[in-house]
Amino acid sequence: MPEDVEMNDSQPTAAPPPATTPAASTLQHLKEIASVIEVGSLTKEVRRISRAVRLTVALRRRLAVRDVAAFLAFALPHSSEAFARLSSLLPKDDGSEMDVDSAAPAAQVSIKHGLPEIEIYCYLLVLIFLIDNKKYDEAKACASANITRLKNLNRRTVDVLASRVYTYYSYVHELTNSLAEIRGTLLALHRMATLHRDELGQETLLNLLLRNYLHYNLYDQAEKLRSKAPRFEAHSNQQFCRYLFYLGKIRTIQLEYTDAKESLLQAARKAPTTARGFRVQCNKWAIIVRLLLGEIPERTVFMQKGMKAALAPYFELTNAVRVGDLELFRAVAEKFASTFSADRTRNLIVRLRHNVIRTGLRNISISYSRISLADIAKKLRLDSENPVADAESIVAKAIRDGAIDATIDHANCWMVSKETGDVYSTNEPQIAFNSRIAFCLNMHNEAVKALRFPPNSHKEKESAEKRRERLQQEEELAKHMAEEDDDDF
């Protein structure tokens, strides 16, 4: 029998972990971003500018006064007007030691001064830093100076940076409750972006203007602007999601619930998973719109990860509408009145009262083949002066709208329900399948539109085919000439 082997003695000793290289400093990262912007500006590649913006967003939590000040001294000439203005807007440093580049041994980075993209990026960096540190007055001054500078530029490589500047320009005024002051400026910028064929800027500014109008409940003006704005293919998924959300809100106020539902659900689906707050707002409005359409959202809508607490008031509201209990609906509306007011959905919830009554009436018509109008008023808990007359008018309107299949016996004050037929003998299954097919086809078309290809790939493919054809023709011609020479001999 083989002897047991002690595993502890035979195991080799673990190798020491490799030495980790120190992380690069924030200033070094900013210098590398500036070099990316420089390359993008010189080669006119917009994707490099977009990459620089994404790297800046990931770096914004680590920004300090000393890093921003050192970067301005690195990126801008000391004699320039931009350097003097931006340096004056930065708060005084606390005197702590500067984050030196020796923490991360990296190659020295140098950039070319005088590039407009570098200057606009410095404005954007200072603006983000001031907003994060709640220096709103300085941020408004920085944004206004940046907007003035952008009006004199017409470069495609600046468009990505300009769209971010527009966003923060509107955001800082929204934080200070002064959105109405910049509406004229935003309209002028949108006109300028249209003349310059800056489609990304048009997308961004259109959404900012819609948000500006909706902030003050100017839905008619928002719809007029949206309908007359130039239309083109979306360049930014984020801006397209915002546009769908604002469009859904406008359609909801205009009582176009079907279009509003489609826009809101599409915005929620297209939004990135990290944009949880935006997706919560889309789901809140979509839930209200579906309830106004007479639909009951599935329970899974309220149980999405990270949204359960935010959607709890709307879950209780949906339950009240589903049951058709008018008293429970009033209690829920009063309990979460502050939440609904903050979400700006309270006026829509007032519209739901009729849906609650209709749902309760539908449940009554299913349960009873014949019931008096007085009992209907009692079950619906109508608290008017003449509940029987109100119940009669409600039943008549529900019959006319097709919500219930019943008749009213006015002589005996009864509601007589008809027998429910087989749903598969109607067109409802066909309509349901048609809506599903349309949804799948729409999703396929959107996926095809979202496909991306390398630039000039079609031209390269055509040139390769032409090259093969040319070589083949040359070979045939050479063979033909050789055959003719043989014939001559």
Which CATH number covers residue 394?
Answer: 1.10.10.10
- Collect all residues with Cβ–Cβ distance below 8 Å to 215 and sequence separation of at least 6: 174, 179
pLDDT at 441: 92
pLDDT at 245: 92
pLDDT at 437: 93
- Position 421, amino acid: G
Last residue of a domain, one of 420, 435, 459: 420
- Domain range enclosing 406: 368-420
Does a structural domain hold residue 105? no
**pLDDT under 50: residue ranges of the chain:** 1-23, 96-107, 485-489
Does a structural domain hold residue 95? no
Does a structural domain hold residue 62? yes
pLDDT digits (tens, 9 = 90+) for 416-473: 777 666 667 778 889 889 989 998 998 888 888 877 766 655 555 556 777 777 777 7
Q: Provide the domain count of the chain.
A: 2
What is the rounded distance in angstroms from the CA atom of residue 51 to the CA atom of residue 54?
5
pLDDT digits (tens, 9 = 90+) for 319-368: 888 887 788 888 888 888 888 888 888 888 888 888 887 777 777 777 77
Apex 63 CA angle, 59 and 68, nearest 5: 115
pLDDT at 19: 38
Does a structural domain hold residue 354? no
What is the rounded distance in angstroms from the CA atom of residue 411 to the CA atom of residue 25?
87
pLDDT at 94: 55
Does a structural domain hold residue 468? no
Last residue of a domain, one of 420, 440, 455: 420
Last residue of a domain, one of 214, 232, 257: 214
**Is residue 321 a contact partner of residue 351, using CB atoms and an 8 Å limit?**
no
pLDDT at 174: 87
Does a structural domain hold residue 380? yes
Does a structural domain hold residue 45? yes
Return the closest-CA partner of residue 172 out of 131, 213, 142: 131
Does a structural domain hold residue 344? no
